[in-house]
C-alpha cells in the first residue's frame, strides 16, 4: 500500500466527498479549469491548509496514462470559493484523524485526481511541478521587511493588489498569510508567510529582473529554493560571534526550533539548520549536525559531515570529546543518508568496536537516552538540551560552554 493510500485509508472518504460535492455544483467547468480553481483556492492560505506549504508554489499538471500531460486552465470564480471551503474541510479531516496533521499537497492532488477520473478519460495522476528557472523566481524576506514595506515595493513596481488575501487570526499581527499582485502582460507577485518563512514568488515576463529589484529594495535574498535563501539570510558570518552571548542565544534558539520541529515548520527549521552548519559557534554547528541525523534530512547529510568539529584543548573540550563529536557527525551523516552504522579499519577488532559505537549513536539519535551513561551520550544530550538534559555529573571543564 502506498503512502497516500495509507493516509486515505486512515482519513476515510471525507476529503474525496468534499471535493466531489464542490465540483458537482459546477458541472460545466472543464477538468483543467477545475484544477486551476483548486490551485487558486489552495494558494490563498497554504500555511493553514498544508503540512508542506511551500509545495503550493509548485505548478500541478494532469498526467495521463499515455504519457501526456495538461496544464491547469483558468479558475472559475464560483468554484474557487467552493474549492476553498472543500480544502479547508479536508484539512480539518486530517487534523481530526489519527494522523493529527495537515495534509501534504500531494495528498490533496491525489484526492482531486481520484474525484476527476470518472470525468477525465485516461487520467493517471495530478502532481505538482517545481517551477523552472525563468518561471517562478523567489525572494526570501528578512524580518526587517514587514508586509507594509513589501506592498509599497511591489506597488512601486506598478503591480496592483488582488483582492484574495487571507488575514491572520484575531490577536495576531494582522498581516496576511498570503497576498498577490498582478499587472498587464502576466506579471504576478505572490506573498507567502508560512511558519516563520516569508517569501515572494515572482512570475511572468521579466520575473528575474523584478525579483532582483524587489530583493534589493527589501534586503531579501533571491533563490530558486526558499529554504536555501532563508538560510543565507540568517547565517552568521563573523568569526567574532563564536562562543559569546549571541552564540549562546543562537544555540538556545536552535535547540528550541529542533525540539518543536514538525512538518508545518519544515522550511524554517531546515533553513536554521543550514545556517547552523556554518555557524562560528561550535555548539550551534554540532547541534545542527546532530539535528540533521535526528530528523533524517538527507539533503543536509553531506553538509553535516563537512561541518568543522572544534579542536581539542579549546572551549572546555578534551581529545576524547573531539573524537566523540567526530563519531556523532559520522552517525548523523549516515543516519540522514540512510546508511547502516559503519566502522572501517584494517584491524578487525577496531572495526568491530567502531561499528558498535556507531550502532549505539544511531540508536541514541533515533531515541534520546533518558540520561547519559557515557561521554558521547553526555555530549549529545548537552548539545540538544543543555546542562539539565545530561542527567548525570557534568565534567568540570564543560562549564566553559554549557548553559
Cα-to-chain-centroid distance, residue 103: 14
pLDDT in tens, 27-59: 888 888 898 889 888 877 776 787 776 667 666
What span, in angstroms and rounded, lies between the C-alpha atoms of 235 and 280?
Answer: 10
* Phi and psi at residue 192, to the nearest 5°: -125, 140
> Which residue, among 357, 368, 362, has the nearest Cα to 391 in the 3D structure?
368
What span, in angstroms and rounded, lies between the C-alpha atoms of 207 and 85?
Answer: 31
pLDDT in tens, 319-337: 999 999 999 999 999 998 8
* 3-state secondary structure labels for all residues of 233-279: HHCCCCHHHCCCHHHHHHHHHHHHHHHCCCHHHHHHHHHHHHHHCCC
pLDDT in tens, 295-321: 998 888 888 888 889 888 777 788 999
Beta bridge partners, 221, equal: 140
* Whole-number pLDDT of residue 3: 39
* Whole-number pLDDT of residue 185: 77
Residue 248 burial (CB count, 10 A): 16
- 144 close to 198: Cβ distance less than 8 angstroms: no
Confidence of residue 233 (pLDDT cuts 50, 70, 90): low
pLDDT of 241 higher than 80: no
Confidence of residue 266 (pLDDT cuts 50, 70, 90): confident
Nearest 5°: the CA angle 173, 58, 46 is 30
Helix (H) or strand (E) holding 196: none
- 122 close to 66: Cβ distance less than 8 angstroms: yes
pLDDT in tens, 66-90: 878 887 788 888 898 999 999 999 9
* Whole-number pLDDT of residue 302: 86
Please give the biggest Cα pair distance in the chain.
75
Ranges 28-32, 355-359, 384-388, 391-395: which has the least confidence: 391-395
What span, in angstroms and rounded, lies between the C-alpha atoms of 99 and 264?
Answer: 14
Helix (H) or strand (E) holding 401: none
pLDDT of 344 higher than 80: no
- 178 close to 191: Cβ distance less than 8 angstroms: yes
pLDDT in tens, 85-113: 999 999 898 888 887 778 888 888 889 99
pLDDT in tens, 186-225: 788 988 876 556 788 888 888 888 888 898 888 877 765 5
* Whole-number pLDDT of residue 23: 93
Nearest 5°: the CA angle 152, 272, 251 is 120
Using only the alpha carbons of the chain, give its radius of gyration.
24
pLDDT of 243 higher than 70: no
- Residue pointed to by grid coordinates 495576531: 172
Residue 188: HSE in the Cβ half-sphere, 13 Å Cα cutoff: 12
* Whole-number pLDDT of residue 293: 93
* Whole-number pLDDT of residue 55: 67
* Phi and psi at residue 179, to the nearest 5°: -150, 155
Helix (H) or strand (E) holding 236: none
* Whole-number pLDDT of residue 171: 46
**pTM, entire model:** 0.50
Amino acid at each position: 500500500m502506498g503512502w497516500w493510500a495509507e493516509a486515505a485509508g486512515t482519513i476515510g472518504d471525507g476529503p474525496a466527498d468534499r471535493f466531489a460535492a464542490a465540483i458537482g455544483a459546477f458541472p460545466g467547468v472543464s477538468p483543467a479549469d477545475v484544477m486551476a480553481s483548486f490551485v487558486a483556492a489552495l494558494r490563498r492560505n497554504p500555511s493553514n491548509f498544508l503540512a508542506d506549504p511551500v509545495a503550493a508554489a509548485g505548478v500541478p499538471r494532469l498526467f495521463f496514462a499515455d504519457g501526456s500531460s495538461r496544464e491547469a486552465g483558468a479558475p472559475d470564480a464560483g468554484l474557487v470559493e467552493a474549492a476553498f471551503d472543500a480544502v479547508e474541510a479536508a484539512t480539518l479531516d486530517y487534523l481530526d484523524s489519527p494522523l493529527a496533521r495537515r495534509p501534504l499537497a500531494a495528498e490533496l492532488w491525489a484526492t482531486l485526481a481520484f474525484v476527476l477520473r470518472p470525468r477525465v478519460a485516461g487520467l493517471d495522476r495530478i502532481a505538482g511541478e517545481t517551477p523552472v528557472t525563468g518561471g517562478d523566481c523567489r525572494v526570501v524576506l528578512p524580518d526587517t521587511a514587514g508586509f507594509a514595506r513589501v506592498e509599497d515595493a511591489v506597488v512601486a513596481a506598478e503591480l496592483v493588489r488582488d483582492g484574495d488575501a487571507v488575514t491572520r487570526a484575531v490577536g495576531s499581527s494582522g498581516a496576511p498569510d498570503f497576498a498577490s499582485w498582478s499587472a498587464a502582460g502576466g506579471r504576478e507577485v505572490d506573498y507567502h508567510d508560512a511558519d516563520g518563512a516569508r517569501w515572494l514568488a515572482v512570475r511572468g515576463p521579466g520575473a528575474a529582473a523584478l525579483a532582483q529589484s524587489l530583493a534589493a529594495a527589501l534586503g531579501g535574498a533571491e533563490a530558486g529554493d526558499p529554504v536555501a535563501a532563508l538560510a543565507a539570510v540568517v547565517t552568521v558570518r563573523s568569526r567574532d560571534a563564536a562562543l559569546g552571548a549571541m552564540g549562546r542565544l543562537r544555540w538556545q534558539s536552535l535547540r528550541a526550533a529542533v525540539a518543536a520541529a514538525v512538518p508545518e515548520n519544515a522550511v524554517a527549521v531546515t533553513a536554521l539548520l543550514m545556517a547552523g552548519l556554518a555557524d562560528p559557534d561550535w555548539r550551534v554547528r554540532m547541534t545542527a549536525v546532530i539535528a540533521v541525523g535526528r530528523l533524517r534530512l538527507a539533503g543536509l547529510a553531506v553538509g553535516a559531515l563537512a561541518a568543522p568539529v572544534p579542536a581539542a584543548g579549546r572551549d572546555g573540550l578534551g581529545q576524547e570529546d573531539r573524537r566523540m563529536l567526530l563519531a556523532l557527525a559520522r552517525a548523523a551523516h549516515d543516519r540522514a543518508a540512510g546508511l547502516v552504522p559503519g566502522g572501517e579499519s584494517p584491524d578487525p577488532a577496531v572495526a568491530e568496536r567502531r561499528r558498535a559505537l556507531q550502532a549505539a549513536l544511531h540508536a541514541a539519535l533515533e531515541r534520546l537516552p533518558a540520561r547519559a551513561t557515557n561521554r558521547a551520550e553526555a555530549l549529545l544530550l548537552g548539545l540538544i538540551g543543555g546542562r539539565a538534559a545530561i542527567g548525570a555529573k557534568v565534567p568540570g571543564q564543560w562549564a566553559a560552554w554549557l548553559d
